[in-house]
Amino acid sequence: MVFVSLRVDAFAAGESSGMFDSNVSQAAYGSTGVDLPVQMQSVQVNRPDESYTLPGDPTQPIVIDNNLVLPNNPPPDPLLGGFRNRAIQRVEFDTDYIPRNGRQGVGSTDLDLTSTVAIPFPLLVDEAAFLFTPDAQEHFLDGPVAPDLPPRLIDASLQIALLGKLPGNFVYDVGVQPGWHSDGSDTGSAAFRLPYYFAVGYRFTPRFLLGAGAANIDWFNIHWVPLAGLIWVPEDNTRLELVPPRPRLAHRFWIGPGFERWWYFAGEFGGGEWEIRRANGSPDLAELQDWRIINGMEQIPTNGGLGFRIEYGYVFSRHVQYQSGTPSFDPPNTFLARLGVIY
């Protein structure tokens, strides 16, 4: 099964999700295992030189059920990885620290809790699923006095995506992510945003997938964003994921009992848009944007249980802009440290 998975509001909420999400793309398609019938009574087996007696009553016949259907559990897909045969595919909690780095800098401590639930949807086509991804984030800012920024920003959203397989080697992914993004004050309807996207992919080989699409991220100065990317897995321990907003080169260097450890080098687009209340009491919209280069290591659980990630990186090309016309400014470059727990 091949799917494309895109998290558009990563652009709008500082998430680090990819267009092709290997952790949930094959969710909810594993058939429940069928229990084999209890072994029927056995018979005595004789060879020319000796005999073996199997358990059971030798006077009873052997019954063979030709209607028994055994589960067809293929090995994990080399391109998109495996899946969990349950509704909850992934739960993750991340915390980021970005220091201010100067009087005109903007620092933050970010908390992010997200999960993904998969529900099969074989009504229109044979292989399709809904993915529901609630996400809650809180950002504690350390910024300049002028222009002012609030001390706290909040994101709460729910992504609803439909992924499926088309005739041939084509796959699709469409979704919408309604969310509320504000500083927690008594703000108006501008805090609500409704980004959406669509993408189509084609699998040229079992280890190469190419996709393209478009997204409307629903910012006041950015609307439509083109999407394009690829995934290439030259061998089982190496993955090249050139997909926005988090392209990544990953290498698996350790396989343990119930887990895998991967090292990776990634890029990331961070920031978001929030409705805020300025120091003078007037409402406004603020956008924070930056680019990041990240080096990290993660331990991924393969039999349930907990995993973790550790990342550090360089944050650059930072920009803060207001809808009201307050002059924008560019905070100095800084670094990032991230810790995460994965279930």
- pLDDT at 41 exceeding the cut of 80: no
Percent of the chain predicted with pLDDT > 70: 73
User: Alpha carbon 297 to chain centroid distance?
Assistant: 16
Q: In terms of Cα–Cα distance, which of 11, 48, 108 is closest to 331?
A: 108
Q: What does the pLDDT read at residue 325?
A: 85
- The label of the residue with tokens 């560019």 reads 330
- pLDDT at 10 exceeding the cut of 80: no
Give the mean model confidence (pLDDT) for residues 280-305: 91
Give the mean model confidence (pLDDT) for residues 82-105: 85
Pick 315 or 72 by higher pLDDT. Answer: 315
Q: What does the pLDDT read at residue 262?
A: 97
Q: What does the pLDDT read at residue 326?
A: 87
CATH class of the domain whose range is 10-30+73-342: mainly beta
Residues 126-156: pLDDT tens digits?
A: 578 889 999 999 999 998 877 889 999 999 9
- What is the pLDDT confidence band of residue 280, given thresholds at 50, 70 and 90? confident
In degrees rounded to 5, what are phi and psi of residue 191? Answer: -70, -20
Residues 68-85: pLDDT tens digits?
A: 555 555 566 666 555 566
- The label of the residue with tokens 């259907």 reads 69
Cα torsion for 12, 14, 19, 22, to the nearest 10°? -140
- State which H helix or E strand residue 10 sits in: helix 10-13
Q: What does the pLDDT read at residue 181?
A: 96
Q: What does the pLDDT read at residue 281?
A: 86
User: Is residue 175 a contact partner of residue 128, using CB atoms and an 8 Å limit?
Assistant: no
Give the mean model confidence (pLDDT) for residues 207-227: 91
In degrees rounded to 5, what are phi and psi of residue 303? Answer: -125, 35
Residues 166-199: pLDDT tens digits?
A: 888 898 899 999 999 999 886 678 899 999 999 9
Q: Report the predicted TM-score, pTM, of the whole model to 2 decimal places.
A: 0.76
Q: What does the pLDDT read at residue 143?
A: 83
Q: How many whole angstroms separate alpha carbon 145 and alpha carbon 179?
A: 28
Amino acid residing at 45: V
Residues 98-119: pLDDT tens digits?
A: 999 888 899 999 999 999 998 8
- pLDDT at 306 exceeding the cut of 50: yes
- What is the pLDDT confidence band of residue 25, given thresholds at 50, 70 and 90? very low
Least confident of 42-56, 254-268, 328-342: 42-56
Q: What does the pLDDT read at residue 38?
A: 43
User: Alpha carbon 290 to chain centroid distance?
Assistant: 20
Q: What does the pLDDT read at residue 340?
A: 97
Q: What does the pLDDT read at residue 204?
A: 94
